[in-house]
Chain A
Amino acid sequence: MNERIVKLPFFENLLNLAVLALLGLLCAFPIVHTLALSFSSASAAASGRVAIWPVEFTTQAYQFVLENPAFIKSFGISIARVLVGAPLNMLLTILVAYPLSRSKAEFRARDFFAWFFLLTVLFSGGLIPWYMVIRQTGLIDKFWALIIPGALPVFNVILLANSFRSIPKELEEAAAMDGAGHWTILFRVLLPLSWPILATLTLFVTVAHWNSWFDGLILMNSPDKYPLQSYLQTVVINPDPRMLTERDLALLQLISNRTTRAAQIFIAMVPILLVYPFLQRYFTAGVKLGAIKG
């Protein structure tokens, strides 16, 4: 695809690459540091001797984490959460984005619904009523409490609706001429042209599900139902030594010393690291052109 575009002048190109490479290094540092910590001995980590390379190499932290049933269990819950939650997010996003992307002539209530959804982002009644509603609808302590209440990501809806609107009208009009209804236009015309944004939003909802921890902690009635990030929150957050007994401190040192923390964080990042390159294929330009021509 790039052949049709003039390249940057050599020097500018070099500068461009250099700056990007530098940014890459800056962002890689904490990850590499975390990785190095996870493979270092506990004493080296505690005294801050680890930079970007493991000191006194050991895989003890990983053994410890992977033998911990609570970690494994919560990992599974998080996977299930993503597998169920992300597709549902995407379905609802698509179903809402389409009507909102119509013109006012096509859908007279458009503005009403746009603000109807937008207001929910801005206003909230706070935790208590939110919790009460979830309790009234019988979701407390249920897996679905992690899925249903946040099933419509409004921010993504706005992005997708915007993207739908940028698709040339002629395509829809041509389809409408052939007698296509809204469903056909949405699924046969718009969606096939929207892979890049759909891939982006899929990434967003996957990450959002994977990373949320607060709802798990507050909506589940026992720790064995926590998703991974909620579980990590109970281990990785800085324990306040004043709230713990002398004995707890010692035990926490075991399960939550810097190396095991690093290992847990790293393992928790792996699924996302795997998903990203897969979705990344769709971020490349030119998809739409092919579709229009074809």
Chain B
Amino acid sequence: MLLRKKLSREIPLFVMLTPAVVLVLVYAYAPMVGIVMAFQRVLPGKGIFGSPWVGLDNFAFILRMPNILQVLWNTIRIAGLKAAAGVVVPVTVALMLNNVTSQAFKRTVQTIIYLPHFLSWVILAGIFIDILSPSEGVVNHILGLVGIPPIFFLGNDKVFPWTMVVTDVWKSFGFGAIVYLAALTDIDPTLYEAAVMDGASRRQQTRHITLPGISGTIIMLSTLSLGNILNAGFDQIFNLYSPLVYRTGDIIDTLVYRIGIANYQYGVATAVGLFKSVVSLLLIGIAYKLAAKWADYRIF
């Protein structure tokens, strides 16, 4: 009786989910059958069920590529740094914006900093090559004023990964800050009122109310960003890298690109994708457990 009542109480929830579940089954789960291509030599026209099986050959193909470990490391390094900076910078900026009292200033800055999100890397690459040039670029010009010798941001393989991280953050932090700004509004204003009563300074408010208030969002977004730990940003790197920085700048996606979708190595491309997915799933799963255990926070 109780069970039935509980079930009937749940029925609307299933109703709500139905359209999305159907959609996802058709357009996301049905195509997943294609994962088997990672274990096939995909012949055009033979389809997923007609192509010959090759076991782990496609994975072996990837592992046999010279430098594969270096490339893997480059990918993780760049993607990891981007993920970390992609949390820290937007949160900081959101907090800073939150401290601004002038609404006009706040909105203006907010509007401007999210604009770079809309420029493609093809366009930005042209601009960055200009402004980061060691001889003529405005950035090095400014560094020169404070006595720092010119830095070849795009041509020095020690600096290149950092250049990628910084330019990526530059492009996306304004957009990222929007989520945190929204999360800030979820904080119960009575908490601030109480704090003000207790004489808490603005900085204390930030530490004891604001940050804990958005920590859920931070944990959640950081965890989700683990899903991209093997995606270091193809468009950006492809448009900005050069022979000078292959050593530290070549990533899985640029390597796969050179293997050539045009050469129809669908099996290899699928194998790479599957590898990325498994790694992402593991990392997200671990983060999920850790968050539940340590922060007592359920991510989703």
Q: Which of A7, A109, A155, A181 contacts B224 (CB 8 A)?
A: A155
- In the complex, what residue of chain A is closest to B27 when comparing beta carbons? A149
In chain B between 95 and 140, which residues have their CB closer than 8 angstroms to a CB of chain A? 96-101, 103, 105, 107-120, 122-124, 127, 130-131
Q: Are B24's CB and A276's CB within 8 A?
A: no
Q: How far is the CA of A72 from the CA of B75 in the complex (A)?
A: 40
Is A120 touching B29 in the complex (CB atoms < 8 A)? yes
Please indicate the chain A residues that have their CB under 8 angstroms from the CB of B48 in the complex.
Answer: 128-129
Docked complex: B230-282 residues within 8 A CB-CB of A: 266, 269-270, 273-274, 277, 280-281
Instruction: Say whether A151 faces chain B, with CB atoms less than 8 Å apart.
Output: yes
Known: A129-B48, A200-B179. A108 touches B300 (CB 8 A): no
B131 — nearest CB in chain A belongs to which residue? A29
Give Cα distance in the complex from A124 to B96, angstroms. 39
Chain A contacts of B110 at CB under 8 A?
Answer: 280, 283
Whether B196 contacts A183 by the Cβ 8 Å rule is no
State the CA gap A164–B269 with chains docked (Å).
39
Within the complex, the shortest CB–CB distance from B251 to chain A, in Å, comes to 19
Check A16–B205 contact: CB distance below 8 A. Answer: no
Chain B contacts of A166 at CB under 8 A?
A: 186, 216
**For the side of the interface on B, what is the size category?**
35 or more
CB pair B19 A95 closer than 8 Å? yes
Chain B residues within an 8 Å CB radius of A5: 192, 196, 202, 205
> A219 vs B13: C-alpha distance in the bound complex, in angstroms?
34
Minimum CB distance partner of B128 in chain A:
A30
Q: A289 is contacted by which of B12, B124, B189 (Cβ under 8 Å)?
A: B189
**B residues near A21, Cβ cutoff 8 Å:** 109
Q: Judging by beta carbons under 8 Å apart, are B28 and A269 in contact?
A: no
Most A C-beta atoms less than 10 A away, residue of B21, B179, B186: B186
The smallest beta-carbon distance between A68 and chain B, in angstroms, is 19
What 1/0 mask marks residues of chain A from 98 to 119 whose CB sits below 8 Å from any chain B CB?
1110100011110001101111
Which residues does chain B contribute within 8 Å of A20, judged by CB atoms? 93, 96-97, 100, 105, 109
* Residues on B with beta carbons closer than 8 Å to the beta carbon of A261: 123
Query: Is the C-beta of A250 less than 8 angstroms from some C-beta in chain B?
Result: no
Chain B residues within 8 Å of A150, by CB: 27
Within 8 A of A (CB), among B20-38: 20-21, 23-24, 26-35, 37
Beta-carbon contact of B96 and A286 below 8 Å: no
Which of A106, A151, A159, A269 interacts with B179 by CB under 8 Å? A159
List 15 interface pairs A-B (beta carbons < 8 Å), by A numbering: A7-B202, A20-B96, A30-B124, A48-B130, A95-B20, A107-B13, A122-B284, A123-B274, A126-B31, A128-B37, A133-B27, A158-B220, A276-B111, A277-B111, A280-B107
7 cross-chain pairs, A with B, having the tightest CB-CB distances, nearest first: A125-B34, A129-B34, A120-B28, A129-B31, A99-B13, A125-B31, A196-B185
B residues near A, CB below 8 A? 9-10, 12-14, 16-17, 19-21, 23-24, 26-35, 37, 42, 48, 93, 96-101, 103, 105, 107-120, 122-124, 127, 130-131, 170, 174, 178-179, 181-190, 192-193, 196, 200-203, 205, 216-217, 220, 224, 227, 266, 269-270, 273-274, 277, 280-281, 284, 299-300
